[in-house]
């Protein structure tokens, strides 16, 4: 039996086009991403996407802190694909560090949906605030207890975001291929910090309390809470806040506080709906810095191209910042 919540995100009885008509390919543009996110229910007065103008330290230092996620747009290239395949084959053969089971991972079912999936991956796996009864709240809640494939099918079939896509400003006209179709030889992937899967599992089994909180020195104070065993539930306040424990809170395993501004007990996870599973890239102390290192290793090293683009998702920049 379909729940009321699932009915609210499944297609209505109104005529629907093909799956591909659901989506438009997005450019890596903060104005586009922020407009989409705001219409979908994110409180963009608190959290926004911003451009990463370059990977030099002086350009990275202007990014508002803390960074909760990074979105990468990269060109399709045989070298990149070969590197990804090599990594996936190694994981299949040797395994990888356990990934936090509460991460929201969506498999991509439509070739044009990678931008939307990157958006949702960034927002849903960060402790950010979005409105109750919004498209984001409905979809993320309906994804609970579903497999990544089922979430992908739900996203491909739902009309909950149908009024968000056509009204997004800032999108420039798409280049076209020789065949007259939209040129989409680019793809989005997303990087987030997630609690160490081993620590999460041990905490869930023992049901003990651990210290969690925002990054030290960046805002927020530590609290003590029991780790939940599943995704965050809906709150009863006027806004919905994804709790910080499952995704962006830090698990203090050593008994010593981390250095100022750094995470502890976290892993850097790449979420790409075309890949078979979330990719663990090792310990994460700073989402932005650690992501840049991974991008250099797996992407920039494989092809020289001006078509790489990066955006950071995190605290909304102040009015007097370079982003306004």
CATH number at residue 274: 3.40.532.10
**In the prediction, which pLDDT does 163 show?**
79
Pair of tokens at residue 321: 């910042």
**In the prediction, which pLDDT does 228 show?**
37
**What's the pLDDT tens digit per position in 211-254?**
444 443 333 333 333 333 333 333 333 333 333 334 444 444 44
Catalytic residue numbers, as ranges: 114, 187
| Contact (Cβ atoms closer than 8 angstroms) between residue 280 and residue 96 | yes
Asked, for residue 238, whether it belongs to a domain, the answer is no
**In the prediction, which pLDDT does 14 show?**
39
**In the prediction, which pLDDT does 64 show?**
93
Instruction: Count Cα neighbours of 130 within 13 Å in the Cβ-side half-sphere.
Output: 28
Asked, for residue 239, whether it belongs to a domain, the answer is no
Residues 70 and 59: their CA atoms lie apart, in Å, by 15
Pair of tokens at residue 46: 């608190």
**In the prediction, which pLDDT does 260 show?**
59
Asked, for residue 182, whether it belongs to a domain, the answer is yes
**In the prediction, which pLDDT does 118 show?**
97
Asked, for residue 178, whether it belongs to a domain, the answer is yes
pLDDT tens digits for the chain (324 residues)? 333 334 345 543 333 444 555 677 788 899 999 999 999 999 999 999 999 999 999 999 999 999 999 999 998 888 899 999 999 999 999 999 999 999 999 999 998 899 999 999 999 999 898 899 999 999 999 999 999 999 999 999 998 988 786 556 555 554 444 444 444 589 999 999 999 988 877 776 665 444 444 443 333 333 333 333 333 333 333 333 333 334 444 444 444 444 556 788 899 999 999 999 999 999 999 999 999 999 999 998 888 877 889 999 999 998 878 786
Indicate the number of domains in the chain.
1
pTM of the model: 0.77
Asked, for residue 4, whether it belongs to a domain, the answer is no
Range of the domain at 117: 25-231+244-315
**In the prediction, which pLDDT does 157 show?**
92
**In the prediction, which pLDDT does 164 show?**
83
**In the prediction, which pLDDT does 121 show?**
98
Asked, for residue 7, whether it belongs to a domain, the answer is no
Asked, for residue 73, whether it belongs to a domain, the answer is yes
**In the prediction, which pLDDT does 202 show?**
75
Residues 311 and 316: their CA atoms lie apart, in Å, by 13
**In the prediction, which pLDDT does 142 show?**
96
Using DSSP bridges, classify how beta strands 186-195 and 67-75 pair: parallel, antiparallel or unpaired. antiparallel
Asked, for residue 213, whether it belongs to a domain, the answer is yes
Residues 288 and 111: their CA atoms lie apart, in Å, by 27
Which residue carries 């968000």 as its tokens? 164
């Amino acid at each position: 039996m379909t729940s009321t919540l699932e009915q609210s995100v499944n297609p209505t009885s109104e005529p629907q086009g093909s799956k591909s008509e659901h989506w438009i390919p997005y450019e890596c543009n903060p104005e586009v991403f922020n407009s989409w996110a705001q219409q979908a229910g994110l409180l963009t007065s608190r959290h926004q996407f911003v451009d990463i103008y370059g990977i030099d330290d002086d350009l990275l230092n202007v990014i508002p802190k803390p960074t909760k996620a990074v979105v990468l747009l990269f060109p399709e290239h045989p070298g990149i694909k070969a590197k990804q395949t090599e990594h996936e084959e190694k994981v299949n053969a040797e395994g990888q560090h356990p990934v936090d089971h509460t991460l929201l991972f969506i498999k991509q079912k439509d070739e044009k949906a990678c931008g939307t999936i990157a958006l949702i991956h960034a927002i849903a796996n960060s402790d950010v605030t979005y409105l109750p009864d919004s498209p984001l709240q409905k979809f993320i809640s309906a994804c609970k207890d579903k497999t990544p494939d089922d979430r992908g099918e739900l996203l491909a079939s739902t009309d909950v975001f149908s009024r968000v896509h056509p009204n997004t400003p800032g999108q420039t006209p798409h280049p076209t291929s020789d065949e007259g179709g939209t040129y989409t030889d680019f793809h989005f992937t997303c990087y987030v910090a997630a609690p160490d899967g081993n620590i999460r599992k041990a905490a869930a089994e023992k049901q003990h309390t651990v210290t969690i909180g925002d990054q030290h020195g960046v805002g927020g104070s530590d609290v003590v809470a029991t780790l939940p065993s599943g995704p965050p539930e809906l709150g009863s306040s006027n806004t919905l806040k994804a709790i910080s424990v499952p995704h962006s809170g830090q698990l203090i395993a050593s008994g010593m506080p981390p250095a100022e501004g750094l995470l502890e007990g976290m892993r850097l996870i790449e979420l790409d709906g075309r890949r078979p599973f979330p990719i663990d890239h090792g310990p994460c102390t700073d989402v932005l810095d650690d992501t840049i290192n991974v991008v250099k290793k797996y992407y920039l090293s494989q092809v020289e191209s001006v078509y790489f683009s990066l955006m950071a998702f995190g605290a909304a920049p102040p009015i007097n910042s370079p982003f306004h």
